Structure 1
Amino acid sequence: MLFYQPTTTPCQHRSLDHSMLCPLCREDLPGFAYFQEHPQNKILLSLLLRAFQDAYETRGEAIEREERHSRFDTPIFVCQLSFPGMPTLLHFFEPRYRLMLRRCLDGPSPTFGMIMPPRAAPMPGHGTTAGSEFGTMLEIRSVQMLPDGRSMVETWGTHRFRILESGSLDGYMIGRVERIDDYEDDLGEWAGEYEEAQVPSTSSSHAPVIAWRSPSSVILTRTLPNVPPTSSSSYSVRSSASNSTQRSLTTTALMAACHSFLSQLRAGTAPWVVQRLNHTYGPQPPDSDPGAFSFWMGMVLPIEEHEKAKLLPVKSARLRLRMVVGWIEQLNSNWWFSSGCVVL
């Protein structure tokens, strides 16, 4: 971008705000406080005003907009999906994100948010930005600075968030966010967001069906595990809060279905694949923490990332496990998965 209120480094070269080294002689640059207090380079400023007056004014207006967004105190990295309680290794190479990383490291809390990029194809009723308002806060654990300015950054997911407002600062996204936590009661306010019922039937071969509403208002219907599917799966499920025939799987039963899938996955893959899963997504959380376990299970499933991202807004661990079990059943119904062909 065009220089604005340019300053000069102690080595008498022009400064570049994307590296701790001078772009010409590679001398170490001082901290941000030096450039905030240092006078502007009058010669450069006069050249900018004479040769690029309109562009300089436009640059100033853009900076004013960024200052108006100063209440947005959360830097946001648009990159990939991440969940709380999991490690994520990131490669910073774009100048805007290298600058963002430097500012995060200079701040009192070395954290930033990460969201997925917009969809390539629009989602019906939601466009291409469906789900991109939810993300995960990442804590910076270690940084390996490379000689050319790139960085390898190890992070750890701490909690989820939703973007309330967003703006930009020096090319990267910043926002005002709210934290998302699970309800203590894993049904909580979600009790009205899902319904479950036994399909009326005179035959015991009819499979019970669960339907729940995801935060994106998409109804997902799945057959309960360990029950052979029949033609009754086409029956509609009606809402009835007082229906005495409502049935639900316990959290323990849902986790048992997940463990069965993991055993199937381990039995059908090479040992190095299992090791890679543990290294990439961290150790498997204990059954005593169903919230963390639901995210871990969602991450290891070989399904599309935007589908996995539907777990982020859900504030009930049990409902997330239901979604995971539904994906497992869908995988088991696909010939390529049941035949042992899995790409990780």
Structure 2
Amino acid sequence: MESIAEVVAKHASMASTTVTIMEEVARWDEGVSLMGDSEKASIHELAGGRLVATYALAAQGKLGYHVDLDYPRAPNSSDGDKAMDEVVLSELLESTHREVDCQVCYNLMLDPVTTPCGHTLCRKCLARTLDHSSQCPVCRRGLAIPPSLHSQASNKTIVDLLNGLCPDIVTARAEAVAEEERPGEGELDTPLFICTLGFPNQPTFLRIFEPRYRLMLRRCVEGNREFGMLMYNRYYEPQGDLGPVHFYHYGTMLRILHAQTLPDGTSLVESRGLYRFRIKAHGVLDGYAVGSVERLEDCALADEERAEAEDISQPPAAENDVSGQVDRMPTRDLVALGHEFISRMQARSAPWLQQRVLDIHGQPPADAALFPYWFASVLPISDEEKYKLMGTTTVRERLKITANWIRRIESQGW
């Protein structure tokens, strides 16, 4: 308002001969009582164009809140008076824009939020700031508000002001921010969390505290709630066409079921595996990895049955050839082997099969396609060993991997 007053004062001092006639028009829809026949509408004459004169009338306290004005054309008015109003309006808009610029992005505020310390910023800018710090970016005071800002209301007064003054600019800003906030650019449309292993149909619990992943999480929650989980490639082993990258190129798509943000900005995330994928291309967006992924599907059931028949028809394996014996087992026997091993381990009260583990992952599934993923989720062996499941294309192949784990455990190979 101080900025507006300065603009008006400058033009008021320049107004010499121009006089604006203003006639009050009551707005009946606001509940103003009807005037009697003896009452006359107030008429005011003040120096300056319409904007300057109206401002002066309001500043003098003579313009009621529920009263509109009509502007009868003065005898000596001209097109120059209209041009003067346009100049004043242009300067008012320019002055107003400077006052409603965000102190983080230095653009027009978009969906402004006012902090408890009294500073108003774009909602997205404040959220991005809280991804990194719990302090106000203007005065550095601590902000006891969640980084998601879900419970923080927008500053309705400023929102209405901006929508009234410059709706086109507000729309353009919203479109630009929406473009920036998309999960990826071009084909790199999948956010990637490089951390550990996840498996289809199995829960994955995460604690997210890095600023880049806080941003990724917020975008996922606001979008389709999905992101890819990849295991860290600590030795930079070559990953197919990708070469020696810092992640393994097979991963699992996770869907966020629940995300809780703690006061310090850390988030506890509950997710569930949807399907496996392979990375085709990758890049970086705002500090976190993004990629183009290809869903990894199992081969047709007929092909799997053909492979099983070929395995079973092989000559018997040597007595000390454990892997060869597993290869020749029927798929049904591989599943039974897994369930029998679980039963024996439960009878021995194995720590990795305690009730709290089963409460999270459920009982061992009877479905042969799901059992290997469940088994890998609960079995306490290295992630590098579990990763062998990720690139497989048949249920039988995964069951043979789990059967070899069992045989090695039984023979004290681990």
The two structures have a TM-score, normalised by structure 1, of: 0.65
Is 1:276 aligned to 2:387, yes or no? no
Give, in angstroms, the shift of residue 191 of structure 1: 4.4
Cα gap change, 1:315 to 1:96, in 2 (>3 Å)? same
Task: Give the Cα separation in 1 of the matches to 2:392 and 2:262.
Answer: 38
* 2:374 counterpart of 1:258: no
After TM superposition, give the deviation of residue 175 of structure 1 in Å: 0.5
Cα offsets for 1:144-174 (capped at 9, x unmatched): 1111211111101111111100001011010
Q: Which residue in the other structure is 2:226 paired with?
A: 111
Higher RCO by CA contacts (8 Å cutoff, separation 6 or greater): 1
Residue matched to 1:178? 294
Give, as a single letter, the amino acid of the residue that structure 1 aligns with 2:325. L
Identical-residue share of aligned pairs (%):
36
Unaligned runs of 5+ in 2: 1-102, 146-151, 156-168, 175-179
SS of the aligned residue for 1:70 comes to: coil
Query: Structure 1, residues 89-120: CA drift from partner, whole Å, max 9, x if none?
Result: 1111000000001111111x111110111134
Work out whether 1:222 is the aligned partner of 2:301.
no
> Using a 3 Å threshold, how does the CA distance of structure 1 residues 270 and 258 change in structure 2: closer, same or farther?
closer
Q: Aligned pair 1:295/2:351, yes or no?
A: no
Change (3 A) 1:252 1:269: same
3-state SS of the aligned residue for 1:19?
helix
1:144 corresponds to 2:260? yes
> Please, which of 347, 358, 365 is the counterpart of residue 286 of structure 1?
365
Aligned to 1:23: 135
- 1-structure distance, mates of 2:208, 2:129: 12
Matched ranges for 1:190-269 at <5 A: 191=307, 197-198=314-315, 206-207=318-319, 209=321, 222-224=323-325, 248-269=328-349
Quick one: distance in 2 between partners of 1:183 and 1:169?
34
Superposed counterparts of 1:73-112, under 5 Å = 73-107=189-223, 109-112=224-227
Q: Give 1:257's aligned amino acid.
A: L
CA change 1:297–1:103 in 2 (3 A) is: same
2:211 and 2:246 map into 1 onto residues whose CA distance is 27
SS at match of 2:186: helix
Which amino acid in the other structure matches residue 355 of structure 2? Answer: Q
For 1:46, the equivalent position in structure 2 comes to none
Residue 70, structure 1, aligned to residue 186, structure 2 = yes
Judge conservation of contact 1:74–1:175 (CA < 8 Å) in 2.
yes
**Equivalent pair of 2:339/2:364 in contact (CA under 8 Å):** no
The C-alpha deviation readout for 1:180-234, integer Å capped at 9, x for no partner, is: 1223317449949x9673258xxxxx4385xxxxxxxxxxx71426xxxxxxxxx
RMSD value over aligned CA atoms? Answer: 4.0
2: distance between equivalents of 1:136 and 1:80? 10
TM-score, structure 2 as length reference: 0.55
Query: Higher Cα Rg: structure 1 or 2?
Result: 2
Tell me the SS of whatever aligns to 1:306: helix
Consecutive unaligned residues in structure 1, runs of 5 or more: 39-63, 201-205, 210-220, 226-246, 338-344
Using the TM superposition, give the Cα deviation of residue 305 of structure 1 relative to its aligned residue in structure 2, in angstroms.
0.5
CA contact (8 A) 1:115 1:136 kept: yes
Contact 1:18 1:99 in 2 (8 A): no
* Partner secondary structure for residue 206 of structure 2: strand
Larger helix proportion of the pair: 2
1:37 maps onto 2:173 in alignment: yes
- Counterpart CA distance in 2 for 1:92 and 1:135 is 18
**CA–CA distance in structure 1, aligned partners of residues 246 and 202 of structure 2:** 23
Q: Count matched residues.
A: 268
Q: CA deviation at 1:256?
A: 1.1
Measure the CA separation in 2 of the matches of 1:23 and 1:34. Answer: 27
Shift of 1:35: 11
Q: Are 1:134 and 2:250 an aligned pair?
A: yes
Aligned partners of 1:134 and 1:161 also within 8 Å = yes
